[in-house]
Structures are given as C-alpha cells and as structure tokens.
Structure 1
Amino acid sequence: MTAPDLEQRADHIVEQIDRFVADGKRVVLSSSFQTQSLPLLHLVSRSRGVTVYFLDTGYHFPETLEFRDQVTEQLGLDVVSLHSATTKAAQVGPHGHLLFAEDPDYCCYLNKTAPMETVAAASDIWISGVRRDQSETRRQLDEFVVRSDGTTRYHPMLDWTEPMIADYQERHDLPRHPLDDRGYVSIGCAPCTRNIPGSDRGGRWFGMEKTECGLHVDLVR
C-alpha cells in the first residue's frame, strides 16, 4: 500500500473518532501496549476526548509497564490502568495454585474481561485494535458491533495487515516494545507468554488450548 493510501486510511479513523467525540459520545480505547498497538494509539492521540484503558492484570512483564509509561508520555495519552476487584489471594484454584495455572479462562475473566466490562457499560464507544489477520476468531468480526449493553464496539484496524502496521510504525518513527528484540511477537502476561519468533499469537497461552482472553469472543457472529 502506498503512503498516501495508508495515511488516508489513518485520517479516516481519526475523523470517525472525532465525530464520536463531537457528538458527545463517551469514547474509550482498550490497549495492551504492544508494538502493534502503537499505530492506533498514535491515531487516538490526534483526537482529544478518548480515555485509554490498560488492563493491569498484575502479571505483566516489567518491560510492558515501562513501555506503557513511555508511550503515554510520548504521545500525551490519557491512560487509566484497570485492576481486578478480586485480590490475587482470592484467585486460587481448587488445587491451591493461582488461576493462571489451573483455570486460565477464569483468570482472564477476573483480570481483564470483568474490569473492562464495567468500563464498557458506562461508555458509548469502545475502540479496540483487533485485526482479522490475527486469529480465526477475529477474522469473523465486523468493524462496528453493538453489544447487548448498548455499547458500540469500533474496530478501526480490522482490515489492516501486519505489513501496513509495520509501514505506519516506520513512517511515524514509533517506539517498539523492548521485548521485541528478545523474540516476543505477541506479548501478554508473563506466566502465559513465550518467545516464539514468527508465530504471531502462538506465544500467547503457550501449551494451552486457548487463543483469546475473552474480551472479543462475545462479538463473533
């Protein structure tokens, strides 16, 4: 894709977000602050009135937290870190192990889905950077989805590809997550993420029959 075409797509996203804000909508963005999150975060930084939510599970790599802080300052973002209402002491399975080891689906629910659901219920527009080329589940999503609670999910990057993300990243000299150089392609919580070069999301929930945290699966047609 040529630079003008890519920038035209980017401008369209900013214009759409600006319309939401101008219409008085409560607009939020959820972001994992990975390298591939940067193009959307950069676009959102051009539109005032959007709060960015980072789901702080308590299990993130220290590098991810440092990267979040770096990007927040560099782009001038309004970032709020969300935490689970359930303490880690209460997140223990029947065999006495933390839930990420015994029940990763419930662990994701308590630390990611439940906190974000509270925010979504109080918002009009929930922006997410999911892309169709990331997984079979995401391939089935639509650009706009109205949830059962009335909140509209907006997926502006849905048809962007890996090369487009990389191209935008380079053109705007955006920073990269420090774990990229150590072979991590998709970075989640430290206990469940492995550095599997070239596998895209294959390093997430490594060794488990799990590909999604639960934030997006209810939107599949």
Structure 2
Amino acid sequence: MTAPHTTPDEDFAPLNFGPSSAIDLYARKTEGYEQRVADTLALLQQAAAEHPEQIVLANSLGAEDMVLTDLIARHQLPIALGTLQTGALNPETTALIPAIEQRYGLKVEVYEPQHEAVVHFVKTHGDKAMYQSLALRKSCCQVRKMEPLSRMLAQRTAWVTGLRREQSANRGAVPHREVEANGRTKFNPLADWTWADIWHYIDTHNVPYNALHDQFMPSIGCAPCTRAIAVGEPFRAGRWWWEDEAAKECGLHVKAVNTVAA
C-alpha cells in the first residue's frame, strides 16, 4: 500500500458540473420504490416490537441513515438514535446532530472516543497515521469508532444500520437482518434500496442531509479519510482511497454472524 503524499483536497479534485445538489444529481423514482419503503417500515416496526427499549439506530449522518431517522421519527417508532462523534468529522457532518434534534424533536445519543486513548494514539503515531499502513488506519478506527460503538451497543439487544447491497462488492450480500456472534440482532432495512431511492425519499420528504453530499461525496466518514469521487468511480471510492478495495471497512460491519435471515 502506498501512502498518499498530499492532503485529501490536494490529492483529488472532483469534476466540475456547475451548481447542483445531490437531489438534482441522484433523485429519481424507480420501479418498486413504494414497496421498498413499505417493507422497510414493516421491518423497522418489527425490530422495535421485538426489542422494546433495547434497539438503536447507529446513525453515520450519511444519506441512508437520515432516511432511517426520518422513518423512525415520522412513524414514532421507539428506536433510539445514536451517533459516533469521532473527533475527526467534518463540520458539515456534525452540524446534522442539532439539525436532527431540532427537526424531529428527538435526542441523539453522541458517543465520543476516550480522550486519553486519542491523545496517546496521536502522540505515538502522529495525526496522519492512517496513511502509513492499513494496521495503523484500523487502529485509528478502533480508537475513534469501534470503542465508542461498543458503548453505544452495550445495553442493546439490536441495532439498525443503513447498509445497502449496492454500496460495494463487500456489501453485495447484506441481509435485511442477521444475528451476530454475540447474539445481538442487526437490522439493515435499506439493504435492497438503490441510491436513487435514497435521494427520491430525501427529496419527497424534505429530509435534512449532509451538505458534503452536494460536493460529490456519496460515502462520508472522518475528514482525513474521505474525498470526493469522479463520474464512473465506485460508490465508496472516496473512502480510504489509498487502500486496496477489499480493505475498505472500518470494522463496524465486518463481524462474524451466527445466523442470517433475508
């Protein structure tokens, strides 16, 4: 793996299409859309019923999770909202936390990494460690994402994610629900949604979304590890773009499972 020698902004410049929004670029109604929305709502309702007061949406503050947030709020589902404030997010991303609370009147649980662990990691490896090796990048994800996620899920028997099969080859077989090795159930209600579906829903319901999506960033993570993509590039090409395609996960969605159900 070759480490980049420039910052993300210097490393890549997106093609200039002129002024437009992600809604303009992506939103369109496709065949079967209404049924996918209905099926997603039914699964969310089932998940909430099966795990009363013990289920959380792990909101990445990306477009998919904003759709799920809207569905949960619109139908008053008893599913908690949680997010990871890694300490390395863009301001456009963190701005969605108060936006959600104001728009929907729902509290967002914010989980931050342990301060001492972040300080130790940066002091030991530097603030650009993620570019040096896959091991260091994953260690950074462990400190900033995995450990806070473990606290988010500690008292929960289930969680909801915005994973979709279309996002990458690694996610091509994402089921609608799965039971993880620790017995916790993971629900992926948008598994069969398309990118056009996501933006059609956002457009139809005026859902707030991350402004970085308007800057050609379909998949958004921490600032040092996210860049814009160009036409024709894969959906997650802007994440950890210096790594091999097969390595592009932070660890949140690569755990072994015991059983899988469609």
Q: TM-score range by the shorter chain?
A: 0.7 to 0.9
Of 200, 210, 222, 1:177 maps to 210
Q: 1:91 aligns with which of 121, 125, 129?
A: 121
Residues 20 and 130 of structure 1: is their aligned pair in 2 closer, same or farther, counting only changes over 3 Å?
closer
Which residue of the partner structure matches residue 211 of structure 1?
Answer: 248
State the secondary structure of the residue aligned to 1:57: coil
2:194 equivalent in structure 1: 161
The aligned counterpart of 1:67 is 96
Identity of aligned residues (%): 30
Residues 2/187 of structure 1: CA separation in 2 closer, same or farther (3 Å cut): closer
The answer to whether the Cα contact below 8 Å between 1:55 and 1:116 also exists between their aligned partners in 2 is yes
Unaligned runs of 5+ in 2: 1-27
Change (3 A) 1:2 1:162: closer
**TM-score normalized with structure 1 length:** 0.87
1:35 paired residue number: 63
2:25 counterpart residue number: none
Query: What is the letter of the counterpart of residue 32 of structure 1?
Result: S
Secondary structure, in 3 states, of the residue corresponding to 2:57? Answer: strand
C-alpha distance 193-4 of structure 1, shift in aligned 2 (>3 A):
closer
Aligned partner letter, 1:33 = L
Instruction: From the superposition, tell whether residues 140 and 86 of structure 1 become closer, same or farther in structure 2 (CA, over 3 Å).
Output: farther
Aligned pair count? 221
The 5 A counterparts of 1:108-119 are: 108-119=141-152
- 1:137-156 → structure 2 map (5 Å cutoff): 137-156=170-189
Instruction: Report 1 or 2 for greater relative contact order, CA contacts < 8 Å, sequence distance ≥ 6.
Output: 2
Residue 54 (structure 1) shift:
0.7
**1:55 aligned onto 2:92:** no
Contact persistence 1:61–1:190 (CA under 8 A): yes
Residue 98 of structure 1 and its aligned partner are, at CA, apart by: 5.3
Alpha carbons 2:29, 2:197 under 8 Å: kept: no
Aligned 8 A contact 2:43 2:189 in 1: no
Equivalents in 1 of 2:170, 2:256: separation in Å?
Answer: 9
One-letter amino acid of the structure 1 residue matched with residue 107 of structure 2: D
Secondary structure of 1:202's aligned partner = coil
* Contact 1:18–1:47 (8 Å) recurs in 2: no
Structure 1 stretches of at least 4 aligned residues deviating more than 6 Å after TM superposition: 1-4
Contact 2:83 2:110 in 1 (8 A): yes
CA-CA distance at 1:95 after TM superposition: 4.9
Change (3 A) 1:172 1:106: same
User: Gaps (5+ residues) in structure 1?
Assistant: none
Cα distance, 1:33–1:96 mapped onto 2, change above 3 Å: closer
Question: How far apart are 1:52 and its partner, in Å?
Answer: 1.3
Counterparts of 1:149 and 1:133, CA distance in 2:
27
Question: 3-state DSSP class of the match of 2:255?
Answer: helix
The Cα RMSD (Å) is 2.5
Superposition deviation, residue 162 in structure 1: 1.0
Partner Cα distance (1:127, 1:64) in 2: 19
Question: Which amino acid in 1 is paired with 2:216?
Answer: G
SS of match in other structure, 1:112: helix
Deviation at 1:160, TM superposition (A): 0.6
